[in-house]
Structure 1
Amino acid sequence: MAPHSPPHFASSRYWDTRFQTNPTAFDWLQPASILDHHLTNALLDCPDQKPYILHIGCGTSLLSYHLRAHVKEPSQIHNVDFSKEAIDLGVRREREIFGETSEASQTERELYMRWSTADLLSIPSLLAVCEPASYDLIVEKSCSDAIACADDILISLPYPLLSTPPHPSNTLPTPSPYLSPSPSPSSSCPPPQSALPTPIHPLHILPLHLALLTKPGGRWIVLSYSSSRFPFLSPTSEDAIPVPVLTSGFPDPSQLWTLERTESVEAPGQRLSGEGGTVHSPKMLHWIYVFVRTEREVRVM
């Protein structure tokens, strides 16, 4: 018998089919409460009185509804997923759990969370539903794990996001090295467009796009099954960004996010039944990453 093909976790069609077949709420790796400590700390550290949370790859996780306990208004939470089926399920389930409203539409927006379908690896798709630098906290459970299963993304250089150092509020912005006036005409122009598409690991693209959406000092909290999930943390890794790609106009994700902490959590135990009775499965660990958004500015070119 031929081996089964692995699931296409990077395909929206796969997720739509999965959620149509099984609409039951499902939490990857750990229960929804596993991130509570880190969520609470991040929100306490947030200077805004009304912080906004972006929940990426929400799927049918109960984390979406659990997050409501961490904010004053449900509208502070924005759930985003690749799958329209997941978003439609989320909208319906929220109304089933918290009740319908017959109030005016403005009140309805305040009573419920935001739900949007978007491709996290597409700038136009994200900007159609998200405002740049508008989120104080990004949270996910295994979304990056699914994205890591995707093939390398073919991009053109320079990439359409520009990263620049922060500038004091009382001075003009630091000019882009590609766009600033200069005695040399060549230095005032962006690098020439690459003739051939360049393959890039999707987990180099994701942190760039999330940096565009996150306020400086904001957090990105990740639950993953991998202890080495993010290749941008290790410049010597097999999937590190080649230097020529960085010098050709691809922003360095490691300049946009700093790793504040990692924490291992034991996976929920499983008991297996066999001829010798009940045995416990080997101990497994999951990993929590907490990133902090740096002060570098990111904007669309």
Structure 2
Amino acid sequence: MASSSPAGRTRTKKKITGAPDYDDAAFWDTKFATGQDVGEWLNSGEGLIEAVLSDLERRPLPSGRPRVLHLGPGISKLGTKLRDAFVRRGWMGNGIVNVDFSSEAVRLGQELESGREATQAMHWVSADLRSWDDIMSTNLSHFAPFDVILDKSTSDAIATSEPQIFSSSSDSGICPTVREIVDQNQNGDGKEISLSPVELLSLHLVPLTQKGTTWIALSYSTSRFDNLPHLAAHWRLVSRTGLPAPSGETSSSAAHTPQVFHWIYILQRK
């Protein structure tokens, strides 16, 4: 099945039979519109909120308006919980920006925020974070640079999509950070560069952040940010902390079932 890639090129989508379309906005639109998704992947994300607050509390916040970019929130309550924590600290909730490629998630989010006072209403932006054209066509850059990136398994979902191919002949809708990599690696021979979806995401976050920005991610993978050299050029892995998975995710009938862990990653912008 052919589809248009976020880089503006046509690619062949290699679909694994029976695998969910986590990289397809329509898949999520349907789940959210029909109530098939409860909104909380892996766990409720309380550990993420603690990590975000701890990071922000060590930063100078003269305006009382921390800037947090929440990646792929869907219909999770995580953003609302974070905003409530902001209010308790006297911070403005409108520094939280939720970005999702599901128009249904964005519609529902905007509807929930519509009755709130402007300084406490979170922003909702519809954009595919794998597409620089999409990012630039929104007002996302208006809120940058962000202090913290909040990522509750969105990197996991993005990781299921295909790598993107770039070359010197790629169209102009390319992130400046990606363009720099392409230019450095071409050497005039027109060689193509392949970027994994998580690596591409990390590069798209570079112009939206600054030195010292923290990316806090919850993942089911023990190696979500490993062996990604272009990511490592801009993001330093500070820590990887294991959290026991919620009960019910292991079989009680197995005599020696190993403990299942999820992982909180903390990366810092170089």
Which category describes the TM-score, using the shorter chain as reference length?
A: 0.7 to 0.9
Looking at structure 2, the residues matched to 292 and 197 of structure 1 have their Cα atoms a distance apart, in angstroms, of: 29
Question: Does residue 262 in structure 1 map to residue 240 in structure 2?
Answer: yes
Residues in 1 aligned to 2:251 and 2:141: alpha-carbon distance in whole angstroms: 51
1:228 Cα offset (Å)? 0.3
Q: Please, which of 82, 89, 95 is the counterpart of residue 101 of structure 2?
A: 82
Residue type matched to 1:260 in 2? V
Query: 1:134, 1:48 → 2: CA distance?
Result: 13
Identity of aligned residues (%): 32
CA deviations 1:76-110 (Å, max 9, x no partner) are: 10001010011111222345xxxx26xxxxxx532
Question: Secondary structure of 1:111's match?
Answer: coil
C-alpha RMSD over aligned residues: 3.3
Structure 1: distance between partners of 2:129 and 2:188: 23
Mapped partners of 1:192, 1:160: distance in 2? 19
SS of 1:149's equivalent in the other structure is coil
Q: Which residue in 2 is equivalent to 1:20?
A: 33
Per the alignment, residue 58 of structure 1 pairs with 73
Residues 4-58 of structure 1: per-residue CA shift (max 9 Å, x gap): 6110111111111111121664211111312132112210122233220000010
Alpha-carbon spacing, 1:89–1:119, altered in 2? closer, same or farther (3 Å): same
Q: TM-score, normalised by structure 2?
A: 0.78
| TM-score normalised by length of structure 1 | 0.70
CA–CA separation in structure 2 for the residues paired with 1:272 and 1:142 = 19
1:229 maps to which residue?
224
Aligned to 1:209: 204
Name the larger-Rg structure. Answer: 1
Alignment of 1:1-301 (within 5 A): 5-22=18-35, 25-49=38-62, 50-71=65-86, 72-95=91-114, 100=115, 108-127=117-136, 128-131=138-141, 133-157=144-168, 160-162=175-177, 195=190, 197-230=192-225, 233-234=226-227, 240=228, 252-270=230-248, 283-294=259-270
Cα distance between partner residues in 1 of 2:251 and 2:235: 45
**Could you tell me whether the CA contact under 8 Å between 1:156 and 1:193 is conserved in 2?**
no
How many residue pairs get aligned? The number is 242
Give the Å deviation of 1:195.
Answer: 3.9
In 1, Cα distance between the equivalents of 2:233 and 2:251?
49
Q: Segments of 4+ in structure 1 off by > 6 A?
A: 271-274, 278-281
